[in-house]
Amino acid sequence: MLEGKTILLTGGTGSFGQKFAEIALGEQPKAIRIFSRGELLQQQMSEKFGDNRLRFFIGDVRDKDRLYRAMVGADITVHAAALKQVPACEYNPVEAIQTNNNGAINVVNCAIEAKVSKVIAISSDKAVHPVNLYGMTKGVMEKLLVQANV
């Protein structure tokens, strides 16, 4: 499924992104674009993998223009960027909404505009009957992605 494809991975330097990249590189993609805010983590990931198929883009899913630039030419987008720490989301609700929901809206709109054929989003079991803001934002993200398929 990934052979010869260009993949954009938002939140690519997180724990999911690191493992995804490790596994996906074995599937012979053309390129994996790692999109994240952390320049140090990108440098460490570059050194860890040492694979020129990994391309690094510093950016935030809140910035639609930068996200679009990274997404143009991608065949598949894997959306893993999110604020994930429950206490951080509770204490910073606007930030959680801006990243987890507005960021998802940007992913959807950029994917449509860039004609990306497949978008896969990473959610959480906390989105089912949410009892905290993190779960609520992930539930909304799911609804946004499902509706985008319509």
Q: What is the pLDDT of residues 120-143, one digit of tens each?
A: 999 988 889 999 999 999 999 999
37 by Cβ neighbours in 10 Å (0-12 / 13-18 / 19+) ranks as middle
Q: What is the pLDDT of residues 33-51, one digit of tens each?
A: 999 999 999 999 999 999 9
Catalytic entry in 5, 64, 84, 126: 126
Q: What is the pLDDT of residues 41-97, one digit of tens each?
A: 999 999 999 999 999 999 999 999 999 999 999 999 999 999 999 999 999 999 999
Whole-angstrom Cα distance, residue 37 to residue 56? 10
This prediction's pTM:
0.95
Whether 126 sits among the annotated catalytic residues: the reply is yes
Q: What is the pLDDT of residue 150?
A: 81
For the CA atoms of 60, 63, 64, 68, the dihedral, rounded to the nearest 10 degrees, stands at -50
Q: What is the pLDDT of residue 120?
A: 96
Is 90 exceeded by the pLDDT of residue 149?
Answer: no
